Amino acid sequence: MQVQHTSSWLELPDLRVLQVATASDGTLVVAVEGVATGAKCPKCSSWTNRVHQRRQQWVDDLPYNDRPRRLWLTRRRWRCGCCNHVFAEELASVARYRRMTVRLEEALFRRLRKRPTKAVAEEFRLGEGRVQRILERRGDQEVQARPQHQPKFLGIDEFAAKRGQIYNTVFVDLEEHNILEVVETREKKPVRAQLSRYEKSVKAVCIDLNEAFRQAVLKALPEAAIVADKFHVIRLANWALNAVRKRVRSQIKGDRKHPIFRSRRVLLRNYEDLNQGQRERLTQLLALSPELRTAYAAKERLRRWYKTSTTENSYRRLDQLIGWLMTSKVPELMALASTFRHWQRELTNYHHFRISNSITEGLNNKIKVIKRQAYGFRSFTNFRRKILLAA
C-alpha cells in the first residue's frame, strides 16, 4: 500500500479513505469505509452503533488525473439493540445494489444523452451492457417523470429509421419546441391512437401533404384544424419548376455552355435574394421558353400568396391561383393545381394559425444526428429513448 490520502481528496464526504494503492494496470485502488458511527433502525427508529457484519465490494468511481479509480468499499450491516433487526448501511455516494458511485453514474448518464453507448463505455473502460442498463434505467425514469403536455399546436412528420424500409413518426409541441412522442410506424392507425391523447387541447395540427396523416387527424381530432406545412407546399412548386427546366434542357443538345445548364439554383432561389448578375442571367433563362417563364411566375405567385394574404382573402386568392395554373396548359403546373385543389382548405388554414413544421424539421435533424452517431439502431425502444432524452 502507498501513502494514505485524506478523505477530502476523494471528495465523498460520507466515506473515509483508509489506504491507496496502484494496481498493475495503472488503476488507482482506494480502500474506504463509511464515516458514520451508527444508524437509525428503519423498523423501530432506535439508534444503534452495533456492527453485525462487514462486507467488502468493488465500486467503480470517476477517473482521477486520467487514471481509472476503483474503491474497495467496506460496507457494514447494523444490528438494532432494541428490536434486534439487522439492516444495511446507507451511503449517499454509493446506492444499494450498485457497483459504482452515484457521481460516476450521473457522469455516464450525461454523456449517454448525446453519445453512443459504445463510445461512453470505451471512454470509462466499462462494459457496454453495464452502461446500456444505466441508460435504460435512468432514461426511462426521466421520461416517465416528465409532465404530460397537452399541446395547443401540434406538428407531425415522418423520418427514415432505415431509408426505403422503416419510417417512424414524430409528434412535436410547436409552442414549447419539444418532442412529445415517437411512434414506430407512419401508418394511420398507430398515428391516430397517439393523436387521440391530445384530443382535449389541440387546436391545429401541421402536417406535410400526407393523406394518411390527414385521415388520422380527421378521425382522432375532429375539432382540430389541419394546416399544410408551408415548406412542403413551396417545395412542390419548386419541383414543378425544376421539372419544366429539365424538359426544356432536354430539347437543347450539344452546347454545354448554354445558359439552361447549371441554372437550377438561380431559378429556385427567391427573386429578392438574387444579385444583379443573377437577375440578368434569370432574364436570359426565362426568355428561352414560355413554359419556363410561366413555371417561374407560378413559384413566385405562390410565395406572394403566403406573404401577403390574410385570413379573409386567402381562400379566394388561392382559388384564383389554382385557376390560373389550370389555364397555363403546362402539364407540371396543372398537376400542381390539382394537388392544391385537393388540399385547399389545409393550405388556407395557414393564414388562420400561422404555424409550420420548421420546428419539427429542425428536431428531425437532431434525430438524424443521433442515428448517424450510433450507425443506426436495431431496437426502436432504445432509439425512442435516445430521441426523447436528447430533444
Asked if the model's pLDDT at residue 5 lies above 60, the reply is no
CATH of 153-229+356-369, one of 3.30.300.30, 3.30.420.10, 3.30.1370.140, 3.30.70.3270: 3.30.420.10
Q: What is the pLDDT of residues 182-216, one digit of tens each?
A: 999 888 899 999 999 999 999 999 999 999 999 99
Mean pLDDT for 2-6 is 50
Instruction: Extract the C-alpha cell encoding 214.
Output: 390527414
Burial of 6 (0-12, 13-18, 19+ CB in 10 A): exposed
Mean pLDDT for 360-383 is 85
Q: Residue 236 carries which side chain, given as an amino acid letter?
A: L
User: What are residue 259's phi and psi, to 5 degrees?
Assistant: -55, -25
pLDDT reported for residue 281: 87
Question: Which of 149-163, 293-307, 367-381 has the highest average model confidence (pLDDT)?
Answer: 293-307
Contacts of 195 (CB under 8 A, 6+ apart): 154, 156, 171, 202, 205, 216, 217, 220, 221
- Delimit the domains of the chain by residue range: 1-99, 153-229+356-369, 231-352
Mean pLDDT for 211-230 is 95
3-class DSSP assignment, residue 268: helix
pTM: 0.83
Determine if residue 97 is left, alpha or beta; phi over 0 gives left, psi from -120 to 50 gives alpha, anything else beta.
left
Asked if the model's pLDDT at residue 52 lies above 50, the reply is yes
Count the helix, strand and coil residues of the chain and give each as a percent rounded to the nearest 5: 45, 20, 30
Mean pLDDT for 168-179 is 94
Q: What is the pLDDT of residues 77-111, one digit of tens each?
A: 999 999 999 999 999 999 888 899 999 999 999 99
Of residues 351, 347, 389, 387, the one with CA closest to residue 371? 387
DSSP-derived letter for residue 100 is B
Give the residue with greater pLDDT, 263 vs 325.
Answer: 325
Beta pairing class for 178-183 and 166-173: antiparallel
Burial of 376 (0-12, 13-18, 19+ CB in 10 A): exposed
Longest dimension (CA), the chain: 102
Instruction: Extract the C-alpha cell encoding 326.
Output: 389550370
What confidence category does residue 2 fall into, taking pLDDT thresholds of 50, 70 and 90?
very low
The CA distance from 169 to 156, in Å, is 7
Angle between the N-to-C axes of helices 102-112 and 128-145, in degrees from 0 to 180, rounded to the nearest 10: 80
Of residues 164, 137, 36, 197, the one with CA closest to residue 382? 137
Mean pLDDT for 125-139 is 93
pLDDT reported for residue 165: 78
User: Which helix (H) or strand (E) element contains residue 215?
Assistant: helix 211-220
Min mean pLDDT across 92-101, 108-117, 260-269 is at: 260-269
pLDDT reported for residue 347: 97
Half-sphere exposure at residue 223, Cβ-oriented, CA atoms within 13 angstroms: 8
pLDDT reported for residue 256: 65
Torsion of CA 321, 327, 331, 337, to 10 degrees: 30
Mean pLDDT for 284-298 is 92
The CA distance from 266 to 218, in Å, is 39
Rg (CA), the chain: 32
